[in-house]
């Protein structure tokens, strides 16, 4: 399979079952479900939006009766025409391991990072493990309390911390282990007092001592194969016995969102119409727009468009198109309403032309806030 073939695969080919929760459900219900099913994300569906709760979000829970509305955050909905490239970009941005997939307003399930990485490694990639791993990860000593690991994960937004004694790797503590231990496991046959929930202790006696490790010279295929075999979502990268880095599913997503197998500019469109002809026209026009902008802004590192439907009449729904062009130092945004989606992207292209003309003499200039069509 060629890289260009991979990123254009429709997410419909990778949808797996997923349970949807209510915003009024309690954290304890979700934690119990995640522990039983060995999942790390869950979706909360509302009338016109979908939110995600990750296992990392649940690290903030101090009261198990907390409603999911307190910890969830909204994510874009993918439809059946969105591609693997779209899904990977969103997972990387939202730091989630799955994204919801819809057909119209019907929830079909989720596309997961595991499924994408599985396909990614069928591609002939000449990429070294050290080029996508996270180098020099945060580590803790065995005597450090679990509460320290919990707080670090919340603030730094990662899910695994190697526990190192001297220069030797002893174990790895994960966000899932911490969250799943917030609720005690109950033996239905056991009589008497119920077991107490997890109490803070040292990570040296808490983390996973069956550690997944790889050598810096190992291939990506070998590393992921071992991760699957050992049911791990990480591998600690060693060099001469010392921790050099760590690789997770999110790091594998870099293959699809940073150079590797993606186009020069990572680009995604959320909310494409299900009609393949219309979707193709929108993609072509947005691609032309991005290529035009790159003539003046070669430093662009991401382009995104989100299509939302406004109104209750299905025959006369108005499209709201939100476009954002991102570069390391600048952000350009634009919004347009129209009943004709093709016309909306024509307007986006005209906006891009004006932006090019305005900024051509001096690339350092930037737009102020959002711009709207006249």
Percent pLDDT > 90 in the chain is 47
Minimum mean pLDDT range among 16-30, 43-57, 171-185, 303-317 = 303-317
Q: Which of 58, 59, 6 is nearest to 29 (CA)?
A: 58
Give the pLDDT score at 172: 95
Residue 285: pLDDT band (50, 70, 90) is: confident
For residues 68 and 60, the answer to whether their CB atoms sit within 8 Å is no
DSSP string over 266-303: -EEEES--SSHHHHHHHHHHHHHHHHHHHTT-TT--EE
Give the pLDDT score at 36: 93
Q: How many CA atoms lie within 13 A of 132 on its CB side?
A: 28
b/e per residue, 247-283, with b = 16+ CB within 10 A? Answer: bbbbbbbbbbbbebbbeebbbbbbbbbeeeeebeebb
CA 139 to mean position of chain CA atoms: 23
For residue 343 the two structure tokens come to 């016309």
pLDDT at position 192 over 80: no
Interval 223-232 mean pLDDT: 92
Q: Determine what percent of the chain falls in helix, strand and coil, rounding each to the nearest 5.
A: 35, 25, 40
Minimum mean pLDDT range among 148-157, 202-211, 350-359, 362-371 = 362-371
Q: Phi and psi dihedrals of 321, rounded to 5? A: -110, 120
For residues 216 and 237, the answer to whether their CB atoms sit within 8 Å is yes
Q: For tokens 């979707």, name the residue.
A: 279
pLDDT at position 357 over 80: yes
For residue 354 the two structure tokens come to 């004006």
Give the pLDDT score at 3: 63
Calpha distance 73→53 (Å, rounded): 7
Q: Angle between the 220-230 and 113-120 helix axes, to the nearest 10 degrees?
A: 140
Beta strand 50-54 with 41-45 is antiparallel
DSSP 208: B
The full set of domains in the chain, from first to last, is: 129-256 (3.10.580.10), 263-364 (3.30.160.100)
For residue 274 the two structure tokens come to 């299900």
pLDDT at position 234 over 50: yes
For residues 97 and 72, the answer to whether their CB atoms sit within 8 Å is no
Interval 42-70 mean pLDDT: 93
Residues 6 or more apart from 36 whose CB is under 8 A from it? none
Beta strand 242-248 with 98-103 is unpaired
Residues 6 or more apart from 321 whose CB is under 8 A from it? 305, 306, 307, 308, 335, 336, 337, 338, 341, 344, 345, 348
Residue 94: pLDDT band (50, 70, 90) is: confident
pTM check: above 0.95: no
Calpha distance 61→40 (Å, rounded): 15
Q: 294 vs 68, 257, 370, CA distance in Å?
A: 41, 17, 19
Interval 209-222 mean pLDDT: 92
Give the pLDDT score at 63: 92
pLDDT at position 304 over 80: yes
Residue 85: pLDDT band (50, 70, 90) is: confident
Give the pLDDT score at 294: 80
Percent pLDDT > 70 in the chain is 85
pLDDT at position 261 over 60: no
pLDDT at position 371 over 50: no
Interval 201-227 mean pLDDT: 90
Classify 251 as helix, strand or coil.
helix
């Amino acid at each position: 399979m060629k890289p260009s073939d991979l990123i254009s695969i429709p997410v419909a080919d990778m949808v797996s079952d997923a349970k949807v929760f209510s915003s009024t459900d309690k954290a304890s219900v979700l934690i119990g479900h995640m522990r039983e099913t060995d999942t790390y994300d869950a979706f909360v569906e509302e009338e016109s939006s979908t939110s995600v709760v990750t296992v990392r979000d649940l690290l903030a829970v101090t009261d198990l009766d907390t409603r999911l509305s307190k910890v969830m955050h909204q994510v874009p909905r993918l439809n059946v025409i969105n591609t693997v490239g779209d899904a990977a970009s969103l997972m990387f941005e939202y730091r989630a391991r799955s994204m919801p997939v819809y057909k119209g307003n019907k929830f079909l399930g989720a596309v997961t990072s595991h499924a994408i990485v599985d396909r990614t490694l069928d591609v002939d990639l000449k990429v070294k493990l050290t080029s996508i791993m996270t180098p020099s990860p945060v580590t803790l000593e065995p005597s450090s309390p679990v509460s320290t690991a919990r707080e670090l994960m919340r603030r730094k937004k990662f899910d695994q911390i190697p526990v190192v004694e001297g220069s030797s790797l002893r174990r790895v503590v994960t966000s899932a282990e911490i969250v799943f231990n917030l609720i005690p496991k109950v033996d239905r046959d056991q009589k008497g007092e119920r077991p107490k929930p997890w109490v803070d202790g040292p990570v040296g006696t808490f983390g996973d001592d069956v550690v997944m490790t790889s050598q810096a010279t190992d291939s990506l295929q070998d590393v992921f194969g071992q991760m699957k075999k050992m049911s791990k979502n990480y591998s600690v990268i060693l060099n001469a016995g010392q921790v050099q880095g760590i690789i997770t599913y999110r790091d594998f997503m870099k293959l699809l969102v940073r150079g590797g197998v993606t186009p020069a500019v990572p680009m995604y469109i959320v909310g494409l119409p299900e009609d393949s002809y219309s979707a193709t026209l929108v993609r072509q026009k947005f691609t032309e727009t991005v290529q035009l902008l790159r003539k003046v802004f070669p430093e662009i590192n991401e382009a995104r468009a989100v299509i939302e439907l406004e109104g209750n009449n299905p025959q006369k729904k108005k499209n709201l198109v939100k476009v954002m062009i991102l570069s390391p130092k600048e952000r350009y945004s634009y919004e347009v309403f129209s009943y004709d989606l093709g016309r909306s992207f024509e307007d986006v292209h005209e906006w891009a032309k004006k932006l090019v003309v305005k900024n051509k003499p001096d690339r350092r200039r930037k737009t102020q806030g959002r711009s709207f069509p006249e």
